[in-house]
Amino acid sequence: MSDLRQEIEKRRTFAIISHPDAGKTTLTEKFLLYGGAINLAGSVKGKATARHAVSDWMEIEKERGISVTSSVLQFNYGGYCINILDTPGHQDFSEDTYRTLMAADSAVMVIDASKGVEAQTRKLFKVCVMRHIPIFTFINKMDRDANDTFELLDDIEKELGIATCPVNWPIGSGKNFKGVYDRNTRKVMTFADTLKGTKEGTEKEISIDDDALVDEIGEAFRDQLVEEIELLDGASAEFDMDLVSKGELSPVFFGSALTNFGVETFLKHFLQMTTSPLPRKSDHGIVDPFSEDFSAFVFKIQANMNKAHRDRIAFMRICSGKFEAGMEVYHVQGGKKIKLSQPQQLMAQERKIVEEAYAGDIIGVFDPGIFSIGDTLTTSSEKFAFEGIPTFAPEHFARVRQVDTMKRKQFMKGITQIAQEGAIQIFQEYNTGMEEIIVGVVGVLQFDVLKYRLNNEYNVEIRMENLPYEHIRWIENKDIDVDKIQGTSDMKKIKDLKGRPLLLFVNSWSVGMTLERNEGLILSEFGRE
């Protein structure tokens, strides 16, 4: 048991969130560099070093320089075992991100120093707040001209409604970015070149009271630093670990992921401030991570990660106990015992088979098509289920047909698999079969990805016809006769794959009218898995 406890206490699982282009994937790369998982870090833009980032593996990602699907990376550093969940920053893929946040214990928010808080950050932040998970802020791109540091902090507080406490403080920005001051040690850290950020680089530490500091950064910057620190000490929130763990105070760090500056400092502090895996809620009460019974939930399904084999991997977060390869677990939603085969841990697309894993870890197991997002697996005699993961309402709809009617089978297989991953939702007309399929997505870029993947992975060409609907509602009433629902002329009755009835509307006025005309009808914006 003590071994189990030790192993679980070493684990840290966090998600990295940000607006597109704030430098999230680059930061992930640098963590791996320090963890010794890769020797040379690539960047998404990759001009000087033509390597693509390790966490971006789908062709379409390399073409567009964006992360489309969340990837999971594990590495060891300083006696800890760290699981990073890298999430897509692009708003069109937000659903995947929301689910990923369900599997993390804390979040690192990356903000671009020249732009401050952006739209996508707000959305993701809301999900973190909803879950009360600790949020750490890394203000990136200090090697470019940045906004005033006090304004950046003010922006976070105003926009996101969370107090901030800078752990370190930047000196200058852009070409004049001299280093960072650590408020705890009262030392300034300067940094030498890192071969465009591909190597770790060397640091110098100088005390703020040391005369050598002026030689290093110049008098003007030293005086400015002393002045700003006085201001800061008087104005910023006191560091309070209790508030951090409730998600009400965010420790802030400054640096540049591209040049590696401040990344290691951040990593060290982060590991000290975060906790080992947290307990989870289930329908039988709280599940303790240190329990001997294994339990996990599926938060993501990814098909065709390996071109050579048509495969599906179900990613699960282990919530308690220890996993051993080949063990038999109870699949709560399927109601039967199963063997988890081919368990893998991923370094993006490089996989390695895992023999054992512990609470806090993320593993991928082969899915023969039995898992859905939100499923619970356990060895406990109590057959509990973890809280469901919400499905977000799609905002864009299109009718999809395959061009070659002979490829019906491939088309159905492809579209069902992609839907099970949760990237798209598929519906059919209420009174017809599967001749015509309606696809709903959260962001329009998903349509391109669907087209691309059906063509590339299943060899099926499709035609899409955009539909005018913008609102979708799940019907909560169990005993209602859908045929008798009186709606507006623009309302459409559809059903999902599980046969549940739904309504589509062109505008919100029609939603209100339909509720007025049908007394007792209950509609909801979220579907529950």
Please report, in range form, the residues annotated as the binding site for GTP: 18-25, 86-90, 140-143
Question: Ramachandran region of residue 103, left (φ > 0), alpha (ψ -120 to 50) or beta?
Answer: alpha
Is-contact 323 363, C-beta < 8 A? yes
Q: Which residues are annotated as a binding site?
A: 18-25, 86-90, 140-143
Strand 168-171's sheet: what is its strand order?
168-171, 179-182, 187-191, 203-207
C-alpha distance from residue 3 to each of 9, 10, 287 (Å)? 10, 11, 19
DSSP one-letter code for 305: S
Strands (E), 192-284: 203-207, 249-254, 280-282
Is-contact 414 458, C-beta < 8 A? yes
Nearest Cα to 261, choosing from 443, 30, 57? 30
Tell me how far apart the alpha carbons of residues 18 and 16 are, in angstroms, rounded to a whole number.
7
Tell me how far apart the alpha carbons of residues 137 and 127 are, in angstroms, rounded to a whole number.
15
Nearest Cα to 362, choosing from 322, 319, 318, 325? 318
Return the SS3 of 288: coil
